[in-house]
């Protein structure tokens, strides 16, 4: 796994440095020892994948999450492929000069969402749940951001004008900072006539999930301590977790990802069809129906999980 030039440089470095230190009875650091670290890491990655595959609950939850990521991929592919023809929005929705094409903006954001989603699955599969939790907060933010921009043309116009690091940061704060995510999503749900009790439930779950996964981002002591330990799938025990590994806490991460992805997919299609009045049946046959079918399949899987039939 190590580049030959780097390996040669390391060998020379170790030869020089090993003569400068007294090792007090222990063996010196060698290339072989470093190779062993690499082997342990590779073994841990493989063992994690096998553990998840062999644990029925983890395997089912992981598979449902893969369906959600696949639905996001097909949605992203549809918007990307159709941005130069009839698509979800008129190309001049941002400005009459058609610059930038609104569909292109959303194809970029959806592509980013798809990549992050599959990255999260890869991290969990390889036993890096802490990294997956950090990534999940970014995924949540991005799903909310896309929905808000899809609903609010003026916000989208402001968003695409940011062309420097400072502009991007200040624009994000203006559009989404200081709990604006929740307030704007509330407004969208009202416009789409979502029942008040459901809106309250959605808002509370959003805030709770965001707060929970933000703890991993900020590395508070309690969170860091838990993330440094591996919770066994079968036994209620914690093991030291130097190089990651399959962890029972990943079940919560997977379920939170599915919940976030399903909210996004349902709201995305609702905004497109109910708010913008786009008829998906008349759009070019790309992957729209694939995304809808996968979304319905996930919903059915969730129902069966709740009822105990899956």
- Tally of domains within the chain: 1
**Is 1 a member of any domain?**
no
Question: Is there a domain that residue 117 lies in?
Answer: yes
In a domain, 19, yes or no: no
Does residue 49 lie within any of the structural domains? no
**pLDDT tens track for 96-105:** 665 788 888 9
Q: Is 265 exposed, middle or buried (0-12, 13-18, 19+ CB in 10 A)?
A: buried
Within a domain: 150: yes
Q: What is the pLDDT of residue 29?
A: 83
pLDDT at 27: 73
Residues 78/105, Cβ–Cβ less than 8 Å: no
At a CB cut-off of 8 Å and minimum separation 6, what does 14 contact?
28, 29, 30, 31
Within-domain flag for 29: no
Q: Are 233 and 246 in contact (CB under 8 A)?
A: yes
User: Tens-of-pLDDT digits for all 310 residues of the chain?
Assistant: 789 999 999 988 888 877 776 655 567 888 888 889 889 888 888 999 999 999 999 999 999 999 999 999 999 988 876 555 567 787 678 876 657 888 889 999 999 999 999 999 999 999 999 999 999 999 999 999 999 999 999 999 999 988 889 999 999 999 998 789 999 999 999 999 999 999 999 999 999 999 989 888 888 787 777 777 777 777 777 777 778 888 888 999 999 999 999 999 999 999 999 999 888 877 766 678 899 999 999 999 999 998 999 8
H-assigned helices in the chain? 4-18, 31-54, 56-82, 102-125, 129-151, 153-161, 165-176, 180-191, 196-218, 221-227, 250-270, 288-307
- On whether residue 189 sits in a domain, the answer given is yes
Residue 268 lies in a domain: yes
Answer yes or no: are the C-beta atoms of 10 and 34 closer than 8 Å: yes
Task: Quickly list DSSP for 4-36.
Answer: HHHHHHHHHHHHHHHTTS--TTSPPP-HHHHHH
pTM to 2 decimal places: 0.90
For residues 253 and 132, the answer to whether their CB atoms sit within 8 Å is yes
Rounded Cα distance between 195 and 168, Å, is 35
d(CA 261, CA 67): 10
User: Which of 68, 101, 108, 69 has its CA nearest to residue 87?
Assistant: 101
Task: Phi first, then psi: give them for residue 229, nearest 5 degrees.
Answer: -115, 145
Sequence-separated (6 or more) residues with CB below 8 Å from residue 196? none
* CB count in 10 Å sphere of residue 60: 16
178-216 b/e with 16+ CB inside 10 Å = b? eebbeebbbebbeeeebeeeebeebeeebeebbeebebb
On the question of a cis peptide bond just before residue 100, with omega within 30 degrees of 0, the verdict is yes
Domain residue limits at 217: 56-278+286-307
Q: How far apart are the first and last CA of the chain?
A: 40
């Amino acid at each position: 796994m190590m580049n030959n030039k780097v390996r040669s440089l390391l060998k020379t470095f170790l030869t020089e440095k090993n003569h400068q230190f007294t090792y007090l009875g222990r063996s010196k650091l060698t290339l072989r020892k470093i190779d062993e670290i690499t082997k342990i890491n590779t073994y841990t990655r493989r063992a994690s994948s096998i553990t998840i595959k062999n644990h029925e609950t983890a395997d089912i939850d992981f598979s449902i999450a893969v369906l959600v990521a696949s639905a996001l991929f097909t949605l992203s592919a549809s918007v990307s492929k159709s941005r130069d023809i009839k698509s979800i929005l008129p190309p001049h929705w941002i400005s009459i000069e058609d610059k930038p094409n609104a569909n292109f903006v959303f194809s970029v954001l959806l592509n980013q969402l798809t990549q992050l989603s599959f990255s999260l699955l890869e991290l969990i599969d390889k036993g890096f749940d802490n990294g997956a939790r950090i990534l999940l907060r970014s995924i949540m933010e991005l799903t909310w951001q896309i929905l808000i921009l899809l609903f609010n043309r003026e916000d989208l116009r402001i968003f695409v004008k940011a062309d420097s690091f400072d502009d991007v940061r200040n624009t994000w704060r203006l559009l989404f900072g200081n709990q604006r995510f929740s307030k704007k999503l509330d407004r969208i749900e009202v416009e789409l006539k979502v029942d008040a009790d459901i809106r309250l439930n959605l808002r509370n779950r959003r805030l709770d999930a965001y707060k929970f996964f933000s703890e991993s981002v900020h590395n508070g002591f309690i969170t860091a301590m838990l993330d440094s330990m591996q919770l066994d799938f079968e036994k209620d025990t914690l093991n030291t977790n130097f190089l990651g590994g399959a962890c029972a806490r990943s079940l919560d991460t997977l379920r939170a990802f599915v919940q976030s992805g399903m909210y996004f997919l349902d709201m995305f299609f609702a905004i497109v069809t109910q708010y913008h009045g786009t008829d998906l049946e008349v759009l070019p046959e790309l992957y729209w129906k694939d995304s809808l079918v996968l979304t319905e399949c996930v919903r059915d899987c969730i129902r069966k999980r709740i009822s105990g039939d899956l």
